[in-house]
Amino acid sequence: MQRIGLILLGAALTMTANLAAQSSGWPPDPGHVTLPLWPGAAPGAPANPPAEADMTTAKDNLIAGRPLVRLGNVSAPTLTLYPAKAGSNGPAPAVVVFPGGGYSILAIDLEGTEVCDWLNSAGVTCVLLKYRVPNTGPWPKSPAALQDAQRAMGLVREHAKEWGIDPSRVGVLGFSAGGHLAAALSTHYDQRLYLHVDAADQLSCRPDFAVVVYPGYLALADKNFAPNPEINPTADTPPTFIVQAEDDPVHVENATVYFEQLKNAKAPAELHIYAQGGHGYGLRRTALPVTTWPASVETWLHTINVLPAHAE
């Protein structure tokens, strides 16, 4: 009887895990195109890396009352395509999404698949980057994540015609560490951090626009919130939308300092600061106004002509 009970418990746990995976959208179903980022091993890849796995435990916090997938041990980065919903005329704009996770894990559903669902509903194709973690950033601590981001942009532009994407409207959107990665790519696009692999690396890896959500690593708390010396915007830095909450434990100065750098460089930028919200809310709606930020991003995308102007 005890053995039967254990078997039933095991089956229940397996079913629960499978349901959680299905509801999270990760791993992606076979209907989505998924490409390896590198034709072989990624640059500097270790031999015999640990297996990729969801690192979430029962003790981890819920976001808006729901769990999330904390993907760890990513050594084989990929791109997954989420095409814009049919109905638009001509090639669609695209956004390459960088989930956050402190360069330790990737919040692959909260700040990945759920983001793609929203972007698709707004008429934007989403390309989800599963970049290498853990301990891969911020640049220059390790080049790995920024290498992956640079490579991803070239690949998206190489496949633009095949995927119905306008290669002149390809942006990035990142959360937390991924927000830092979006800013790093926005200021480190003129030279690849790796030897060119193929034709994709001959194409520009400069984003056409960037959305930076509750970023880290852009202001140095141990140096009185001085700007990160590795992030140096110029007038050619793409238009940038930044959002963060004042009570974010990662420090709101990451947003305000980066905005000031963009302003001083005469790079177009829009900053949204909310009184409350903390960190790591993704797109999950709560009673706090900060979680309305996606609507503000959509308005901004119309303003900068990534999405068509609203009809009068």
Encode pLDDT of 154-202 as tens digits. Answer: 999 999 999 999 999 999 999 999 999 999 999 999 999 999 999 999 9
Domain extent listing, the chain = 30-303
Q: Is the peptide bond before 27 cis (omega within 30 degrees of 0)?
A: yes
Q: How many CB atoms lie within 10 A of CB 240?
A: 25
Percent with pLDDT over 70 in the chain: 90
Q: Which CATH architecture has domain 30-303?
A: 3-Layer(aba) Sandwich (3.40)
Q: Kindly report which listed range (22-31, 134-143, 248-257) carries the lowest average pLDDT score.
A: 22-31
pLDDT at 9: 36
DSSP-derived letter for residue 238 is P
CA angle, corner 112, sides to 106 and 114, nearest 5?
Answer: 135
d(CA 77, CA 132): 6
Q: Which of 161, 138, 165 is nearest to 149 (CA)?
A: 138
pTM: 0.91
Q: Which tens digits make up the pLDDT trace of 39-75? A: 999 999 888 999 999 999 999 999 999 999 999 999 9
d(CA 80, CA 59): 29
Residue 173 φ/ψ, nearest 5 degrees: -140, 125
